[in-house]
Structure formats: C-alpha cells, structure tokens
A and B are shown apart, each in its own frame.
Chain A
Amino acid sequence: MMCKIWAGMNNILNDFPILKRTVHGKRLVYLDNAATTQKPRAVIDALEYFYEHTNANIHRGIHTLAEEATLQYEKTRDETAQFFGASSREEIIFTKNATEALNLIACAYGRTFLKPGDEIIVSIAEHHANFVPWQQLAREIGAIVKVIDIDLEGRLCIHGTKNKEQRTKNKREVEIGCLESLITNRTRIIAISHASNVLGIVHDIAAVVALARPRGIIVAVDGTQAAPHMEINVGKLGVDFYACSSHKMLGPLGVGVLYGRREILNKCPPFITGGDMIKRVTLEKIEWNDLPWKFEAGTPDIAGVVAFGVALEYIRKVGWRLINQHEQALGAYALSQLIQLSGLTLYGPRSMEHRLGVFSFNFKGIHAHDLATILDEEGIAIRSGSHCAHPLMERLGVHATARASFYLYNTKEDVDALISGLMKARKMLG
C-alpha cells in the first residue's frame, strides 16, 4: 500500500524546485516543515507574475492594474473562506502571519470584552504565539490565565476533575489541570492549538467546543500546524476564531489568516488603525470600515495573498485524501524507524492516531543542536531547540529537543536518510 502512495509522488517532488538543490554536496532532505514549508513552482510563479504584470495597490485605484490586483486579492479571500469552510468572505482577515492573527484576537476581542477577574484558559502545549498574548492581556486587565495540562502521552487533558495542581510561577499561582476542571462561570476564552508544533498531537477541538459552547465561552484556535495537514471546516468545528500562516502550508512568507465569526468580529474594535480600515474620518469622529477591511489597516502583502490562493489551489488539486494517506503512511514509517533506535527518547505518542508527522526527540544524550549540525552536514534539515514552547519544554523536563517534521513532498528515502544521519551522530558523539 505504501508503495502505491509513493509511486504518485514523483510528480509532486518535481513541483518543488528547491528539493533539487544540494546542501554540503548532498541531496537536500528537508524535514523542518513545522517551521516553514517549501513552495511549489506554481506559487513561485504566481509571485513573479504578480510583480511582472499586475503590481498595483488595492482598494484605492481606478486604473486597470489596481482593478486587477484588487480582484485577485479579493478572489483569494473567497477561496480562503471556501477552503476553511467559513460561512462568508467577511470572516476572513489577512494578517502578516499567525502570530499577528492571534494577537488580533487577544487585542481586539480580549481587551474589549474581558474584565478583571475573568478567566482565560490556554494549554501547556501552546506555541508562544498563543500563550504570550494571553498572558500579556491578563496582566493588562487583571484577568486570570489557567492552563490545560497534558497526560503521559502528551495529549491534552480535556475531561476529568482530578489532576488539578497548583504551580508557582512568578510568585503567582497558576492553576493547571484538566480543561473540564478549570472551567468556571468566569471563564471567557479558551485559546488552544489545533495541533502541537512539538509533539505533533492533534487536539480534540470538538471536545473543547462541546464544553465551551453551552457556557458561552469563546474558543480561539491556533491552527498553524493543523491547517497544512488536514481539511479544516471552521463551521463544523464550531470555533469562534481560527488562525494560521500561509508559509506553513506551501504559501509565501508574510501572510497569515484569521477566521472570526462575523457576529463577534462585528462587535470588535480595530486592532491596528490607519488607511483602508476607515469609512469616513473627520476632525471629530471616525467611522470604521466594514468587515473584513476594518481589520486590514495599511497596504497588505498583496502578491503574497494572491500566491497564497495558488497554494490553496495546489493543496486542493493534490487532494486531502492523498495528502492524508501519504502523510499517515510516511509518519507511521518514520515512527517505526525512530523508536527502533536504541537510546532515542520520543516525546509524544508512539502511534499515528490523532497525530501528525512531527517528531520531537532526544538521542543518546547528544545535544539537539549537535544532532542538527551533524544532520545538516548530511544535507538534512531538522530543527533543534525549544520550539517557542517554553512552558511545554519545562513540563517535559527538557531544555531542547530535535524535531523532524514531514510534509507531502517527503519520501521514505528522507526517513532513511534521517535514520542513517542519526546513526552517524551516534558514532561521532554518542
């Protein structure tokens, strides 16, 4: 079965020009997809085409180029809305990255609607982009942050009333435990990632929404790691906000997406102010523009957005069925090979159930940075460090891990290269 999936891969490999380059004289084996993904030819061409044929500012010009640029930009919004199952195009806001999208939620919604003593729940597995904005917001308005813990496998504790524990951080008590036990009548927001950038676990958003919805709690999801790998339907998920980054899903750098439910976005004041987000401004008063432009102040990365549309089209053409099959099969193969290496500590589940091909590990007491450097000398790109997830690292009791993360253009040969690179590291430093 695996062979069949990989047989279709040659076409895909050919679509990614960068995969033809060498690093230190070796074939590039790119396994840092959780940091950013490579771009297919079509996306690179779209960027070039925009700057060669269309380049103009949007929403303001009458001339042909401005008209074309505006149409392409807004068409991408339609495609994005469709791609993520939003009920209308007004619910899609383009930002500069996922980080900005998450900050937008904390600032525009959080600052407006949260009061002192209100509670925000985040998970211990969050990337700093979905942790720090909430910590900061809580500090500003006197709200309280509570933290969802993980179980032994690394999965979030959703149900249950036990496992509640107090921890001291910066002299303040932070409550950490199962989501269900953390919810009170002061809980206003649950900010949670759809998938962990360290452990690769796909979190059970439906279960979170089931707890939150009846209580009127807002659910804000950081979908940065999930959106590249699985079909997302924000309507079906029932979430209020969903954020992700173009560059992690084959699109260009510099573009982020925020989905927000229209009723909520309508109530929020703008995040950044300036041009384009204003309907009318006089010396005395201002009238905000309509959704979604209210949240898109200033000139956006127009070429980036247009090329992001092409990335979405690419994903759609390959199809989720093929992507999921390939990634699951490849992930299972990588997992089986990794856990066979003696001295390798894998963080996160040892099965591909509700899991992506993101593998964090330590090996033989060799520091993750050394692993990354030795693998780089073999042309293999992995990530090492704390992955912008200090609370999770602390919880796992490690300073750094090595992380190999896969995408649709990776192959069985890439896994084999990783394994033999690790064996080389063991020989050198182990």
Chain B
Amino acid sequence: MLKKINKFEYFAPSTLAEVISLLAEYKGKAKLYAGGTDVLVQMKQRKITPEYIIDIKKIPELNGITYSPEGELTIGALVTHGQFAISKNVPEKFTMLKEASLAVGSVQTRNRGTIVGNICTSSPAADTPPALLALDAGLKLVSSTGERTVKINDFFTGPFKNILKDTEIITEILIPGLPENSGGVYLWHSKITEEDETLVGVGIVLTVDNLENRVCTNLRIGLGSVAPTPMRAVKAEDFLKGKIVDEETIKQTAEIAANESLPRSRAEYRKEMVKVQTKRALSQALKRIER
C-alpha cells in the first residue's frame, strides 16, 4: 500500500458554523475528517482524492452522549465506537448498540472510528446501521442553508452511497425512547480474515403488550451484510406484529427475514445465517424484556 496520501489543504475549525461554510465553499472537493479510519483508507486506495480536509475533532458541540428525560438518546458526530461501548450515559435498554459498537474492527480502530463516520461510509457490511435501523434512529443533517432530520431507514441508497449532500454534515444521531416491555439485541457473525468483516449482522427491537400475553405490538429488524445496503426486514416484522411471540412464531419470522434478505455472494449460507441469527436474537430480546 502507498505510504503517502494525496496533497490537500488542511482546516481544523472550532465551530460548526465554520465547517458548514467551508463545505458550502468547497462543495465536492472537501472531505470531513474525524477518526480517519475510513477516510484515510479511502485516500490510500485512491478511491477519493479530496483537495481539502476539514478536521472536525476540535468542535466541542459535536461531542457527547446525552439521555433526555423523555427517554431519547443523542449521540454526537465525534463519539467513537470505543467511547460509546463504555459510556455510562447509555441506559441498559440501548445495550444492543453497545454490542454493535464492539463488533466494529479492532480496539485500535474502535478508539478512533466514530459511529457517525461508520454511517457516512455506508458500507453494506457496517455493524452499527442494523442496530440503528432496529432502534429507528434519526440523523440530523446540517448545511449552510438549513437542517433536516431523516430516518436512517431512508439514508442508504446503495453500497457506499447515501443521500448526504456534499454540503451537509451529520451532526448527531437521535434515538427515540423505547416503549415499555421492549428488548433489543445485536448479533453478528464474522468471517475470520484480517479484515474480520461482518458476514451477517442482525439488530432487533421487540415490543410486547405485557409479559403474560406476549403479543408482539412492535418489531423492527435491521440486517447488515445481506443486501446492497443495510436493510429492514419489513415482511418479517409485519408477520409477527399482533401475534403471540413463541417458539413457532419466532421460527416463522426468522424464515421470512431470511427470504427477504438479498445477499449477493455466498447467498445460500448468508440466508441461512440470517435465519439462525434472527431466531436467536428474537428469543434473546424476549429474555431481555423479562429481566
């Protein structure tokens, strides 16, 4: 691999206002830099050759994990996978996102790489998106002309592609509070190579009416690595809603999820893994509600 990366001009602004004005000025020629774990790799591979690098690490307002009295969790753009995984500000009901953060790369890359960066790269194999899909996360996109909040479900458009404009920055992830009797789980299965890329990732948030009846009132299933983008298994979700969650319905839900996944390589194996992991994740989610 090349030792050098292309030449560029470097900015390290201290306010968000400066960032969005730089983005507006340089449009597609600038790249945001936080942890660098994705951006520098893409530069080394000459997949991107930005003329301007905007280092956002010095902007305090992009830091922090906050939990509001309304039960909403906000994660700033600079929060790394490592920081999130050990954060005390994250209530137990969001443990699944910690599980997904720990599935990313190695200690070294988790210490630098940010969850928002992971989303921006939009790899179909990324670990946090399936969990964030299950959590119905929103993303706050800010540019010099205004801001918008989009659901992560509407964000990805293809492998390494998304709706983010080159004048926009994702400033935070917003995770809505979970209703009572909800449980979430993230399970992943990796191929053992030096990249340790996730082969199948399954994120689940299950809600039941109460612990006696166990009727599914809501379900979101996020799948990673089994389609051109991280995806929701909507058919499987719809199937279980309104039904009693038991061994049989869990099995059927997992089969439907496997059938609606769209893996390109090693499709048969991956579909089988979706089935196995979805089944496991659903029973574990139920156990977490009971706890």
Partners in one complex: no
